[in-house]
Every structure is written in structure tokens, then in C-alpha cells.
Chains A and B, each alone.
Chain A
Amino acid sequence: MNIVACIKRVPATETQPKIAPDGKAMDPALAEYMLSFYDEIALEEAIRTKEAAGGEVTALTLGPAEATKEIRDCLARGADKGSLLTDADWHTRDNRTTAKALAAQVTALGAEVVFCGRQATDRDNAAVGQMMATYLGWACVTDVIELTIDGQKATAKRESEAGIESFSFDLPAVITCQKGLNEPRYAGLKGIMAAKKKPIEESAPELAENMTEVISVELPPARPEGRMIGEGTDAIPALLEALRSEAKVL
């Protein structure tokens, strides 16, 4: 099976962002980057699908030249090749532009199933997977926690407020992956060595114009300073009193 895992280079989890001088973005120069958390789950599911059905896994991203680091990470874990849509301004692209560029490359690669993380941990929109599927005219199930692929037929489970929902669909499809779907593997030394010989194809994507206008980006307001009520069980009456008469939440 021809399998694609869409991944994204995102600021490392511990990043304390600073605002860029124009006030419209996070200062990209100040951040450490990593593979987005949910994309590790997407990649793992892609590799497991290949292990079950045969085929090839391509790690695909829209990113800067430096994103070869995140692609190598995927190759070390078991992807066969990388596809980098090189775009120095990747962090300014909106989800529509990104989804269109990825959809075009998914078509060019001839993929039958695409795995994405449920959301990238930078913009947190959780939108590109569904948008890509819609542009491709494919089935899509989001936030998947259980997946079964049998030939061209598939079933997937996701959790919503209503409960655990089961969906059935045919490939080709886009699956967005939620924590719980699998336990991502780490790259071993052998994988890291092998990754150095695996190909990464870089190409310049065709980019639709952004339709998102950023008005401003700001840091969230700081919380007013709280107070220490006391120590141990002795502090309980004072806490309840504060919750009742001061905070008025009881």
C-alpha cells in the first residue's frame, strides 16, 4: 500500500513564545523545534499499516529546509522516504493553503491512505486533515483511537461527547490520529544509521494565497496573584470559605 504520514515541524513543547517585532506572529527565530506530538502517532500508524499490508511509507511535510531534521526522525523510526515541500514561510501559511499543497502532493505521490496527527501543536486548529480529505474528495475520520484496514475497507473509532463513535468507509482515506491509537516507537541506533541513506525529495510547492489575515498576536493576560491559604487539613475551612464568599464558585 502507498502510505503517507503528514508531519509538521512545531515549536518544542517547553517553548515560552515571544512575539515577533511586527506583533503578528510568534518570533520564529527564538524557538526550538520538534516533530508535532500527534504526528508521532500518525507516523506509527503508517508504519504499522505498512507492516500489516506491505508497501511504502512517505513522511510528507510543508516546511523550511531545516524540516529535513523532523523528516529524518521519521525515517529513523521506519518511514521509507521523505517528501519536503520547501517553504521558508511555512509558519505563516493558513490551513487552507497548507491543505491544498499537501493534497496536491498526496495525489502526486499516488497515496491510498494518509495519516495526520489530530492537530499540530502550534496552531491547534485540527483542520488540515479534514480539509485535505475534502479537497481530495476522500473519506476522513478524525481523532481516531482505533483503526482496522482490511483491503479497501476500513473501520475507525473516535471519541466524542456522545461516546465512542464507529465509522465505516472505503480507501482512499485520511485518518487523523488521537493519543491512544498506538504507542509510537522510538528511533533506535540502527534506524538512525539507516535513515541517513533514505531519500528525501525536496520540491517547491504551488501555494495558494493565504486567506487568513492576522490582525495581531499577543501573550495571554497573566492571572492575578493568588494566595496561600495554609498547610494541611487545617486550611480546609478557610479554603471553602474563600470559594464560597470570595470566589463565589460554591
Chain B
Amino acid sequence: MSKIIVFVEQCNGTANRASTEALGAAASLGAEVIAVSFGEGAANLTLAAARTIALEGTQYSPDALAGDIAGIAKAEGANAVFCASTGTGRDLAPRVAALLDSPCFSDCTAVAADGDAIAFTRPTLAGKLIANVKSTGTAVATLRRNCFEAPEAGSAEVTIQPASADFKALLTEIAAKVGGKLDVSEAPIIVSGGRGMKEPENFKLIEDLAAAFGNAAVGASRAVVDAGWRPHSEQVGQTGKTVAPQLYFAIGISGAIQHVAGMKTSKVIVAINKDPDAAIFKLADYGIVGDALEILPALTEAVKGAVSGA
């Protein structure tokens, strides 16, 4: 049976959703799953895995942590290492791969057993191509959010191991994001605006619609980010974030190929645009032709009613 190491990101003893999904992906392959986690609270994790190894340390260093994960993978004779495709997971996995002298497959959307190996499906060229690949060494991969079933919490026994203190780069501070706003890469609903919003001030209407849902993030097209209307952290597309929410609103966005690449795997896409011939309508499940500035306030009111169950 194959053995897979899954690095689980956690905060105060609670695993993040993307990491739990990675545990589910590993379990779906019928492998023995060994969870590895780091930091305060890791010893309190109750995971769906055969075992959990909690790395005890107070200082975070990506190079030291990658060394610990690779060391465990070697000691366990694991044939794969999975991380969630998060800012942390995507940073760590290639380091682990190099330490295991294997390639790294980032942001995979599916896994499947392929003989003794694991076949990974991953989008390339910002989703314009889908590649199916496997490693002839250790299979090191990061797994995209919302692509794998997360198991219920389990009862894996936790063993504690000291984390390496051999640092090269050391985390000195984390400044919380302002307002605790949902990030486009995490939100189940995204409301994105483009040039059709006409003025940066009009993004208030986008923010209002997002707020009406309660669990939506604000997104933006490259055009308005480049114009300085919105921060890069909100940019969806080839040079921004690739997202796949349950519901995506493209408002005043024409549907340039580089934007579409970042959001076309969304479950449901709604487009609102003045131009009935806009490319975005070819992609959208539902389209409304009209001036976003007129439609948005009424839509926001209607959503408020719908969400509150009225």
C-alpha cells in the first residue's frame, strides 16, 4: 500500500479546510495517510489520518519546515507528499520536492491511482490546457481548494517531534489584512468588477453586493487593477488569482481571455454588461444586458431579501 504524507496547515488546533481536503484526496487513493503539522495547537489536531506528527516549534521558517517534512517522508518511505495549494503550501512543496530530488506538481485538481504511481491533473497556461502527469520519483503536489472531498474529523494519534531550528529565512511578523475581508481565493461567492464600473468610486456598488451575500469577496479585472482602482490581491485572471467559486459575478467585464482563464471553472457564472456582444456572455450561465451602475443597487436589495429568506 502506498504511503502519503499530507502537510496540514492549522491554527490553534483546527486544520484549515484546504488541508483537510488534501487528507481526503490522499485517502481516496487508498493510501496510508500520515499528517504532518506545525506550530502551536498542532498537538491538539484530531485528523482523519493513520497518524499525525506534530512538529513543535515557535519560529516559522519555510526552509526548516520543508526540511522536516522531507525528512519525515524519507524516514517513512512515503511515495507522495501533498500540501494544500495555499500561499503556504505552494511555497513549501517545491522545497520538499527538491529535497526529495523529485519534480513538483502545483495546484492539482484531481488525483488518480495509475499502477503504482499517482496521476495528477493540473491546469496549465492559466487553465487553457489541462495536463495529466505523474512523477517517476516521489510524487510531490499541491492540491487546489474545492476540488476534493474533505473527510470528517478523525482521531489520529498525535506524536510530537521537535521542529528543526536550522533556519535560513525566518518569519518575523504577520500583519493581519485590513477589515478581515474574505479573499477571492477562499470565498464561495465572488463579485468582480471591470472597466464597465466607469469610476473607482463605483466599486462601492460591487462591495455592497458582496456584503449583501455575507460570504462573498470582491474581485477585479486586470484593467482596473492596472489603473490603480483596486489592489492586486483582488485581481482574477492569468496574472492574478485563479478562482473556482460556487457563484461568480462578472460585472462590467468584457471577458478578455486572460480574465476568463482565471474564473472559467466557477460553478455558476453571471455576467452583467452593457454590450450584448461582450465575450463574457459566451461563458456565462446567466446574462443580463444593461448598465451595471443601474442594475447593481436593485440587485443588491433583491439579494438582501433572498439571503434573509424574505
Contacts and interface: CB of A to CB of B under 8 A. Distances in A.
Interface of A: 11, 13-17, 19, 26, 37-38, 94-96, 99, 121-135, 138-143, 155-156, 158-170, 173, 178-180, 210-220, 223-224, 226-233, 235-237, 239-240, 242-244, 247, 249-250
B285 A226 contact: yes
A213 B134 contact: yes
A214 B133 CA distance: 4
B185 A161 contact: yes
Given A124-B106, A167-B172, A143 B87 contact: yes
28 contacts: A16-B257, A124-B126, A125-B94, A125-B106, A130-B91, A133-B63, A142-B90, A158-B91, A161-B86, A163-B174, A163-B175, A165-B174, A166-B172, A169-B169, A178-B232, A211-B137, A212-B133, A217-B132, A220-B129, A224-B285, A226-B287, A228-B287, A228-B288, A231-B290, A232-B295, A240-B306, A243-B268, A250-B306
Contacts of A243: 247, 268, 270, 286
B127 A220 contact: yes
Nearest to B303: A240
B220 interface: no
B289 A228 contact: yes
A176 to B, nearest CB: 9
B244 to A, nearest CB: 12
Contacts of A244: 306
Interface in B214-272: 231-233, 235, 238-240, 246-247, 257-258, 264-265, 267-270
Contacts, number: 270
A237 B185 CA distance: 29
Interface residues of B, number: 89
Nearest to A14: B257
A211 B175 CA distance: 39
Given A37-B239, A159-B87, A237-B302, A123 B136 contact: no
A188 to B, nearest CB: 20
Contacts of A218: 129-130, 132
B63 A217 contact: no
What is the predominant secondary structure among interface residues of chain A facing chain B?
Answer: mixed
Contacts of A210: 103
Given A162-B174, A214-B133, A226-B281, A124 B288 contact: no
Contacts of B124: 122-124, 217
A134 B98 contact: yes
Given A95-B94, A167-B170, A226-B286, 18 more contacts: A16-B257, A94-B103, A139-B169, A142-B90, A142-B91, A160-B87, A161-B88, A161-B185, A163-B175, A164-B174, A165-B171, A166-B174, A211-B103, A217-B124, A227-B285, A231-B290, A233-B298, A239-B288
